[in-house]
Structure 1
Amino acid sequence: MPQPLLIASAMGACPRCGASTLFAGPVRFAASCRSCGLDYGQFNVGDGPAAFLTLIIGALMVAMALMLELKVHPPLWLHILLWTPLTVLAVIGSLRVAKGALLILEYRNKAREGWLTAGDREA
């Protein structure tokens, strides 16, 4: 039985064998699974997760910064020191999970590029 989607994507689990081999960097996919050999290059996650997560997390960080400013009135340098690294970590952390989830879903649903051959059209 496959792992739940969010757990598998957070762990960077290969969708075929479950080994933690999905990522070669913080948000960069490995070329293939070191355990079972699944080629991750056949999947196309694209830039959609990055755009949506940047907008969503940006809005959340601005809302939290405004609430802090209205309640505590910290100096500007404290806002910069607090919100810049928090935003970067939140985007990278959630981007890793989102990209992993999309790749795992593509594998589980057998989604591939949209090119059809003559045999595919008849089926």
Structure 2
Amino acid sequence: MFDGFLHFRPTCEACGLDFSAFDSADGPAFFVMSIVGIVVVGLALWMEITFEPPIWVHALVAGSLSIGLSLVLVRPLKGMLAALQYHNKAAQGRFR
């Protein structure tokens, strides 16, 4: 489905489905930011209440976790949104 990290192939290798109609726009980024934000803030609050670490520990944990989770989640979420567009026959809005 992907040609590179986030770029769709022109067509499916197995069935020939045209991927050019799929446009997830900012959808994956919104969901990634929401999910990662909840996880990182929750972990930061738990760490602060439980261990009271110095600020550099918070920065190291939050920074690495934010980058890592974002890279792990963005591709599956983009694929999922493309699958939802295909399943629901989503198309560009048109005025009559």
Cα distance in 2, alignment partners of residues 80 and 42 from structure 1: 40
- The structural deviation recorded for 1:93 is 2.1
Cα distance in 1, alignment partners of residues 73 and 91 from structure 2: 24
2:74 corresponding residue in structure 1: 95
- The structural deviation recorded for 1:80 is 2.2
- The structural deviation recorded for 1:54 is 0.4
Q: How many residues align?
A: 96
Aligned residue type for 2:66: T
Greater than 6 Å deviation, 4+ residue runs: none
- The structural deviation recorded for 1:108 is 2.2
Cα distance in 2, alignment partners of residues 28 and 78 from structure 1: 35
- The structural deviation recorded for 1:115 is 3.5
The one of 74, 85, 90 equivalent to 1:106 is: 85
Question: Identity rate of aligned residues, in percent?
Answer: 39
1:28 corresponding residue in structure 2: 7
Q: Answer yes or no: is 1:46 the counterpart of 2:32.
A: no
Cα distance in 2, alignment partners of residues 28 and 84 from structure 1: 25
Cα distance in 1, alignment partners of residues 2 and 62 from structure 2: 26
Map 1:77-88 → 2, pairs under 5 A: 77-88=56-67
Give unpaired runs (5+ residues) of structure 2: none
Describe the superposition over 1:70-103 as per-residue Cα deviations: whole angstroms up to 9, x where unpaired: 2112232222222212112212322222211111
**What TM-score do you get using the length of structure 1 for normalisation?**
0.63
Cα distance in 2, alignment partners of residues 111 and 103 from structure 1: 10
Cα distance in 1, alignment partners of residues 3 and 36 from structure 2: 24
**What TM-score do you get using the length of structure 2 for normalisation?**
0.76
Aligned residue type for 2:59: I
Cα 1:86–1:26, aligned 2, differ >3 Å: closer, same or farther?
farther
